[in-house]
Amino acid sequence: MKRIVILISGRGSNMQAILEADLPVEIAAVISNKPEAKGLEIAARHGVATAAVDHRQHASREQFDTALAEKIDSYQPDLVVLAGFMRILTEGFVNRYQGRLINIHPALLPAFPGLDTHEKALQEGVKVHGCTVHFVTPAVDHGPIVAQAAVPVFQDDTPDTLATRVLEQEHLIYPEAIRWFAEDRIRLENNRVNVDIAHASAPALRTPWPA
Ligand code: GRF
């Protein structure tokens, strides 16, 4: 069974969805860059090993990433899952985990990389928004797309109502994408992801569009 390590920074709702999805993986550990992250308590309640590597205790980004990689490698994961991990990673770190480091971003990439995606979506007046699971490359919020889910944007949406609608989809597509990885269904070819499964984009179809 494939081993995964999940990296978080805060509340850990995506991590929780992954822990509760009954996936054919061994969750080796949940690691946070913030010892006070709420998600660590949730992971411990699920009986998962937890660890913290506090970025504030390291003088540079490189030193932090080296310490983080040492901690991750001690669990020998096949896949490293960024789930609300709010640190920009160095190129060295990203390259070390090439093809086995994935992230979830709360927008339909390549639209709206970076922070405050729901505010940006509302400002632009887009009618469709969503979330993306992607392999991580050195460019922030960029990389081969594994799965996406779309949600409608309503005229009276606020960043909070939109975030809630998107988050519900995040909790569906992230466990699904990890299941595909666990079942060896994901192929990275020419920087594109092919998934060996019928209707691989089906999660998007679960979206509750208005009747
Ligand atoms: C999610 O919206 C995720 O897409 C983004 O940060 C948020 C983390 O939420 N990268 P949680 O910690 O998983 O609840």
User: Out of 46, 55, 58, 105, which one is annotated catalytic?
Assistant: 105
Q: Does some domain include residue 208?
A: no
Element of type H or E holding 167 = helix 159-182
Q: Are 136 and 94 in contact (CB under 8 A)?
A: yes
86 occurs within a structural domain: yes
Q: Distance between CA 106 and CA 133 in Å, rounded? A: 9
Distance 68 CA to ligand 1 centre (A): 20
Task: Report d(CA 208, CA 211) in Å as an integer.
Answer: 9
Q: What is the mean pLDDT of residues 40-64?
A: 97
Q: How confident is the model at residue 196 (pLDDT cuts 50, 70, 90)?
A: confident
What gap in Å lies between CA 171 and CA 185, rounded to an integer?
20
Q: Is residue 206 part of a domain?
A: no
Residue 203: pLDDT band with limits 50, 70, 90: low
In the predicted model, what is the mean pLDDT of residues 53-81?
A: 97
The span from the CA of 79 to the CA of 130, in Å, is 24
The answer to the question of residue 30 being in a domain is yes
Residue 15, pLDDT > 80, answer yes
CA of 45 relative to ligand 1 center, distance in Å: 20
* Residue 77 pLDDT > 60: yes
What was the pLDDT predicted at 207? 46
Atom of ligand 1 at shortest distance to CA of 83?
13
Across residues 152-180, what is the average pLDDT?
96
Q: How far apart are CA 90 and CA 18, in angstroms?
A: 26
Q: Which residues contact 88 (CB under 8 A, 6 or more apart)?
A: 61, 140
Q: How many domains does the chain have?
A: 1
Look at residue 79 and tell me if it is in a domain.
Answer: yes
Contact (Cβ atoms closer than 8 angstroms) between residue 103 and residue 118: no
pLDDT for residue 168: 96
Percent of the chain whose pLDDT exceeds 70:
93
Averaged pLDDT, 27-53: 98
> Does residue 203 fall inside a structural domain?
no
Ligand 1 mean position, distance from CA 12 (Å): 7
Instruction: Tell me what percent of the residues of the chain surpass a pLDDT of 90.
Output: 91
Going by pLDDT thresholds of 50, 70 and 90, the confidence category of residue 208 is very low
**What pLDDT was estimated at residue 19?**
98
- Which atom in ligand 1 lies closest to the alpha carbon of residue 163? 2
Residues with CB under 6 A from ligand 1: 8, 10-14, 83-84, 104-106, 167, 170
CATH number of the CATH domain containing 124: 3.40.50.170
- The two tokens of residue 30 are 């949940």
Amino acid 199: pLDDT: 58
Pocket test for ligand 1, best of 7, 13, 119 (most atoms within 8 A of CB): 13
Q: What separation in Å is there between the alpha carbon of 128 and the centre of ligand 1? A: 19
> What pLDDT score does 202 carry?
52
- The tens digit of pLDDT for each residue in 83-115 reads 999 999 999 999 999 999 999 999 999 999 999
- Among 6, 7, 14, the mutation site with the greatest number of ligand 1 atoms within 8 A of its Cβ is 14
Q: Could you tell which of 167, 169, 171, 178 is best to mutate to test the pocket of ligand 1, judged by most ligand atoms within 8 Å of the CB? A: 167
Res. 143: pLDDT tops 60: yes
Domain with 159, as residue range(s), is: 2-193
Ligand 1 centroid to 208 CA: how many Å?
Answer: 20
Q: Report the pLDDT value the prediction gives residue 23, as an integer from 0 to 100.
A: 96
Asked if 43 and 84 touch (Cβ cutoff 8 Å), the reply is: no
Residue 46: active-site member: no
Q: What's residue 61's pLDDT? A: 96
Task: Give the pLDDT confidence of 17-39 residue by residue, as tens digits.
Answer: 999 999 999 999 999 999 999 99
Judge whether 211 lies within some domain.
no
Q: Is residue 132 part of a domain?
A: yes
